[in-house]
Copies of this chain bind each other. A is one copy, B any other.
Amino acid sequence: MCELLGMSANVPTDICFSFSGLVRRGGETGPHKDGWGITFYEGKGCRSFKDPSPSFNSKVAELVKSYPIKSKSVISHIRQANRGGVNLENTHPFIRELWGRNWTYAHNGQLTGYEDLAMGYANPIGQTDSERAFCWIIDQLHKQYKQPPENMLEMFKLIASYADQLKKLGVFNMLLTDGEYVMCYCTNNLHWITRRAPFGKAQLIDEDMTVDFQQETSDSDIVTVIATRPLTKDEAWTKMHEGEFCVFHFGERVL
């Protein structure tokens, strides 16, 4: 099982706060020591930092913690390998271009029978069930839409129906983004929270550190954070149910 973290915001937002908890969970306070990755969007471009080594002592993780990259859309993942070796090509998030957009994906869980998922437009580079499931989704979308969809929400409903099919193969908790929308799909472990001004103090579960969001943000800021488990003690996170999905557009839930 792996840890997921996603963020969707209406202004470029520093992810360091929520991320520092996740980093400690990678091998130090949790068993997720087989790789770690994070993807930030800046406009249509995105930037990934990945490391197959445990995140709690990773040099790249240190950089991300100390480097305040601001983004509206972020996906991060800490891995405990169950399918595929521990190496860079098997490290989430995975990215593919579709319709001239970067699609970024991370998966938590384990699938059986995934070898039978037919590949076409996109093909896996590594050996994980996760990447193969992602390529299958991209392939289904490419078959359905030769051009970028006009109705994005209808498309995300379609992706949710693909996720329903993947859930039949096992545990499928997923984060997916094109840099504008952030989608999450839950089998058993996913929570989210939307923070709006005025922001109160929130305490990290893994660290003795308190961040006052009022100092970090303006009156109109909306920031949604999605995570395997709640990352803060002082806030009310929404627990997702089996088969449920959410789509956020720049912080606001739209589906």
Contacts and interface: CB of A to CB of B under 8 A. Distances in A.
Interface string A35-63: 00000001111111010100000010001
A48 B48 contact: yes
Interface in A53-96: 59, 63, 67, 87-91, 96
Given A47-B50, A48-B48, A63-B63, A88 B125 contact: no
A11 interface: no
A123 B96 contact: no
Given A44-B126, A100-B123, 5 more contacts: A42-B89, A44-B89, A45-B89, A47-B88, A102-B125
A93 B73 CA distance: 22
A99 interface: yes
A201 interface: no
Contacts of A87: 42-43, 45
Of all A-B residue pairs in the complex, the 8 with the closest CB atoms, nearest first, are A45-B88, A45-B89, A100-B123, A42-B88, A44-B89, A44-B125, A100-B125, A43-B87
A184 B168 CA distance: 46
A102 B122 CA distance: 12
Interface bin, chain A = 20 to 34
How many copies of this chain?
Answer: 2
A12 interface: no
A48 to B, nearest CB: 7
7 contacts: A45-B126, A46-B88, A59-B67, A63-B63, A89-B102, A96-B97, A121-B121
Contacts of A91: 45
Interface string A106-148: 0000000000000001111110000000000000000000000
A40 to B, nearest CB: 9
A101 interface: yes
Contacts of A123: 97, 99-100
Contacts of A122: 97
Contacts of A96: 97
Nearest to A59: B67
B48 A125 contact: no
Contact of A101 (B48, B99, B121, B125): B125
